[in-house]
A and B are shown apart, each in its own frame.
Chain A
Amino acid sequence: MDSFSLSQFGAFDLALMLVILLLPLLSFVILIFVGRKLPRQGDWLATMNLSICLGLALLLFAKMLVHEEAPELAFRSAAVAGVDAAGNGVIEDYNPIWVDVIGFVVKPGILFDNLTAIMLVVVTLISTLVHFFSIGYMHGDPRYSRYFAYLGLFTFSMIGLILSDNLLLLYVFWELVGVSSFLLIGFWFEKPSAASACVKAFITNRVGDFGFFIGIAILFTSFGVLGYHELFSALSADPTAGGTLSAGLLTAAGVLLFMGAVGKSAQMPLHIWLPDAMEGPTPVSALIHAATMVAAGVYLVGRLFVVFTPEALLVIALIGALTAIFAAFLGIVMHDIKKVLAYSTISQLGYMIAAIGVGAVTAGLFHLMTHAFFKALLFLGSGSVIYGMHHHQDMREMGGLRKKMPITFACMFIATLAISGVPLLSGFLSKDAILAGALFQWMVPGSGGPAWLYALPFVLLLMAAGVTSFYMFRLIFLTFFGETKSEHADHAHESPKVMTVPLIVLAVLAIGSGGLGLTSHLGIGTHWFNDHVAAPTLDVNEPNGAFLNTRSTELVLTEDEEHAEHSSHTIAMICSLLVAGTGIFLACCFYLWRKLSAAKVAAVLAPVHRTLENKYYFDNLFVGVLSKKVIVGGLNRFLWWFDATIIDGIVNLTARITRVLAAIQGLFDKIVVDGLVNLVGLVTIVWGFFAQRLQTGRIQTYLMMFLIGFVGLAAAFFLIG
């Protein structure tokens, strides 16, 4: 085994990755079995393990920073294990096999590239901060140690998801994050709302995973491989997979794979689970339902970018953009502080998905990172507020908390500026890049559908940007400004250091993480993201690869297109500044200066307001009608009736017919067969009855009979003879 060196990747780094992967699992195992017996119920153990993971992840990331490699090369060759890459980083010895039957071999492998490196840092960093924060927030909970155990399970699964080098392994961890999410949403399971929220989350995700799985099945059946690297090689070598894969089927595969992302990243129409998931403890919402797990869908779509045909990408862009705008509207009408943030998360995830759909993969993944920091900050901040408010989370009971919770306020305000797209903050940079990508797609439409459809993402995303700044400032004003509106708000207090320090760290990142940035036209930042987390590409020389998306087959732009790309950045930036400013201004009018009344607007737009309050009736449709009426009330009952009445009826009928037949046979037996037997008996008896009369016992009678017989016989003899 070679030792650690900055310039090369080797077995030592692999060991580090495995340590990062397995330490949280170790926390889980220890805490679930002996957690309650440990001092402080083992919170220090989980937190320490995660901190070690963070340190190691940062070390690996630092190595990637100094790694001099072209972006595409980094994607392909920095794979450390399980992937036979060109050049460095392949460790042949490390080759465990998970499933090995003929025609189906799954080797768990690690794919480590720049995207993995940055995702590892994001996950371990936020997880560590959430661990610290939870020490304060969950203090005194009766299942304190189990909470940290579950956090460990989640972090393990999430890291596994990032490190996986093949689709099936990804699917495994994909479901495991789902189950950790289930356990954590349902952490306070004695609350009926939490108990049903966790079930809803899991089942909704399963709907998406159904598509995801079929997508995997299509690719596996066509190419016979599951690894990303092998898959991409096979795709570029022969996009039709020996004639088995048509453009339509590849589009279907892409859309089906995307279904998984729709579920996990809460895109419409499978977003309904995420707002309910807020039943979980707030630090969990920050970690799982804002920063990391829900972004897994974005990660998936980014990772598999080359697989999507132009048609599939258009679907992705439209779903993402529609989700961004529709969820943002819902953020306006929510009163629960966490629900606002939940819809905000859905909306922002829509942004990322749309970004990848329009081909701005880097921008989407960059937004994934910046959003992870500022949204985790917003959630932890809201957690701090809720903690200060003694677990009340309705914003109508808050107000004026600015002075009572100054650190929380300052941090949340920074995050709000970031998400609203105020210049120089991280969110501004990433959102701007997405808008530019969407605008570019409008100017240079793809081949997946009519050109006007390519205009939609930009328009919708731009509107969403305005709405976002509006609802975020509404949240800030309602919570921290004005007068306190309840006793709880009067007695609110700043949270302990173990909770505020993570907030401060995240606030710094919400400002500064844009520095890893990508926009060169502002002349700031390191452009690291732009240079090193590029969209994966394919070298397709085959003419039959025409149905692949051009973004991934060739990156060379014509002069016009290059011009369009330049101007798209400028236009997008100006537009986004304008709408963000408008949103903030309107929020000030409504909720700070109170020049306009939200109630009056709601009254004027009553039908709209009602639709929003009912969340576009998605829940009514899916839960109320589809799940409760059609499946549970209808189909299940009908089939159960069918089973008990028809099928069992036939079985019982057969039995009854048999019994009736048996009874008839019995009667036949009794009357005819037995009748004959009895007749014989009867005849004998009757005969006997008469015969017995002859048995008088008197010798004279016998002699008399003898004589009559003899005479009779003699007479007969003579008469016949």
Chain B
Amino acid sequence: MENAMDLSPLLTALWVLPIVGMAIVLMMPSRASEAIKTVAAFFTGIPLVIAVVLYFMFDRAAEGFQESMTVAFKWIEQFNIEYYIGVDGISMPLVLLTQLLMFVAVFASWNIDKGVKGYFAMLLLLTAGITGVFVSLDFFLFYVFWELMLLPMYFLIGIWGGPRREYAAIKFFLYTLAGSILMLIVLIAVYLSAGTFRIPELLAMGQAGQFAEGPSLFGLPFDKWMFVFLFIGFAVKVPLFPFHTWLPDAHVEAPTAISVVLAGILLKLGGYGLIRFNFQMLPDAAKWLCGVGEGSIPLIQWLAVISILYGAFVAMAQTDFKKMVAYSSVSHMGYVILGLAALNNLGFNGAAFQMFTHGLSSAALFLMVGVVYDRAHHRDINGFGGLALKMPVYTGLSAVALFAGLGLPGLANFVSEVMCLLGGYQAEHTRYFAIAAAAGVVFTAGYILWALQRVFYGKLNEKYQTMPDVNGREIFTLVPFIALVILLGIMPGWVLDWMKVSLDGVARLFS
């Protein structure tokens, strides 16, 4: 487009507005809880509208970062640190997903009554942090936002969580911090080597093989140890076996809305980081750990398949509804990693789309658990039964969410899973892993339907004779996800078309 409008202020507004909202919330009296919630809704709602506008202004044919949305100016000149933001096809859908989820999270938090002011301030800060990570094109800025989002998350779990909230919060914090430290080392090392924090330049350098030479560590060449450090840092977030045990605890203790955010977006930060840094910046090292070429190790696909199967089996063993959904995330994010390990077009597209669809379906699943927890004050799968009799609307919505999780055709998750699996099968180095992963689909159906049977089917539990069906607010939070899961199942192009050109660029690095 000629004379394209400069859209970068809109992109900046996406993270600035929540900060403004936070400031306003902090200035409000803590008694005005309804007003605080309204402010929070407003300052996440406007970014959502902006994100939708940006989504449709996005030039789908352009590879790389959108020129119209990129902006850069100096921030800390001594170290070449810039305020440099922009989006490409990989980050744009995730930015939109973030805004949607945070907006819904506000409504899902409407029944919070303890420390309302602090809660919504933290939620808004979290929004800013996550958005910032996705739009940063400066590695340093990326790191700042990455740490920025860690803090409110810690407090949101640690203060507003369940009985074991402090253990969960600290576990989450330490796990992530361990990853962050590894990332910080890479951040410094890469700056000392390249002299810039600009991500596009770093990508170009890495792709040109410039990081092959540099200080080695533990006998590993520069690019390889950087890859390992970054991989661990992001794998914790994904989370990939064996770095996953913070997730179930964090989920179980976190309030519903925070679980939604956690599963819906926070995990995607890991996947995003992997694509952006590990695969896009260090393709040779990626090949090395994906088992391509001489002396390589098929580590990543092993971890992916273990996550898929292991997550499914452990999910099946759970009696806590929320923990089951949490472990299902471990399993489903494994498909993302498998798709990445395939190192081909189909795999990358599948992985990126799976992140989006899992964001929708896991959000819906956690909202679903929240509804029943609010009413029964427990989450024991065996403690319900026959809810379909009393709560038909809830059952219908939940069924779609559960079937999305199980990868039913017609729903978005099917498309992304199939792409990850087919992509995995296409690549010789992941072929047998894809077959094993496909078997995981059977066990996924196992734990999901078994849970559905125990919670919704069977004789009605006498205790819940009078359980009310979902109310308007709950429907309002669930419907966007249910609708999108169906819509994208029929028209996956509404996301895939945005991503595919950028991802083709990634895939070309490996062909």
Contacts and interface: CB of A to CB of B under 8 A. Distances in A.
Interface of A: 32, 97-104, 168, 171-176, 179, 182, 186, 189-190, 192, 194-196, 198-199, 202-203, 206-207, 209-210, 213-214, 217-218, 220-221, 631-632, 635-637, 639-640, 643, 647-648, 651, 655
A636 B457 contact: no
Interface string B420-461: 011001100000001100110111011001101100111110
A199 B450 CA distance: 7
A189 B445 contact: no
A101 B453 contact: no
A148 to B, nearest CB: 15
Main secondary structure, interface of B, reads helix
B504 interface: yes
Given A651-B175, A651-B245, 4 more contacts: A102-B507, A172-B410, A189-B386, A209-B441
Of the four ranges (under 10, 10 to 19, 20 to 34, 35 or more), the interface on chain B belongs to 35 or more
25 contacts: A99-B496, A101-B346, A101-B496, A102-B345, A104-B419, A104-B422, A174-B409, A176-B409, A176-B410, A182-B449, A186-B457, A189-B388, A190-B457, A202-B445, A203-B446, A209-B441, A210-B438, A217-B421, A220-B426, A221-B425, A631-B446, A632-B316, A636-B316, A636-B317, A643-B314
10 A-B pairs closest in CB distance:
A195-B457, A640-B317, A172-B409, A636-B317, A189-B457, A217-B425, A101-B349, A199-B449, A175-B409, A101-B500
Main secondary structure, interface of A, reads helix
A220 B434 CA distance: 14
B459 A190 contact: yes
**Residue from B414, B425, B507 whose CB has the most chain A CB atoms within 10 Å:** B425
A206 B445 contact: yes
Nearest to A658: B174
B171 A651 contact: yes
A214 B435 contact: yes
Interface in B267-290: none
Interface string B484-499: 0000001011001100
Nearest to A99: B492
**Residue from A101, A189, A203 whose CB has the most chain B CB atoms within 10 Å:** A101
Contact of B313 (A173, A189, A198, A639): A639
B464 to A, nearest CB: 13
A262 to B, nearest CB: 14
Interface in B18-33: none
Contacts of B439: 210
B493 A214 contact: no
A189 B442 contact: no
B418 interface: yes
A213 B458 CA distance: 32
A100 B453 contact: no
Contacts of B317: 632, 636-637, 639-640
B472 interface: no
Contact of A647 (B242, B313, B316, B419): B242
B53 to A, nearest CB: 25
**Residue from B246, B345, B457, B507 whose CB has the most chain A CB atoms within 10 Å:** B457
Nearest to B460: A190
Given A189-B458, A195-B453, A195-B458, A103 B345 contact: yes
A100 B496 contact: yes
A214 B344 CA distance: 18
Interface string B389-419: 1000000100000010000111000110011
Given A172-B410, A210-B441, A636-B316, A189 B345 contact: no
A98 B435 CA distance: 24
B310 interface: yes
B68 interface: no
A631 B316 contact: yes
A643 B245 CA distance: 8
Nearest to A627: B446
Contacts of B175: 651
B207 interface: no
Nearest to A655: B174
B492 to A, nearest CB: 6
Contacts of A192: 457-459
Interface in B289-304: none
B318 interface: yes
B354 to A, nearest CB: 13
Contact of B396 (A32, A631, A647): A32
Nearest to B403: A179
A104 B345 contact: yes
Given A168-B418, A220-B422, A97 B441 contact: no
Contacts of B449: 182, 199, 202-203
A175 B403 CA distance: 11
A172 B414 contact: yes
Contacts of B490: 98
Nearest to A208: B442
A213 B313 contact: no
A206 B441 contact: yes
Contacts of B242: 647
Nearest to B503: A101
Contacts of B403: 179
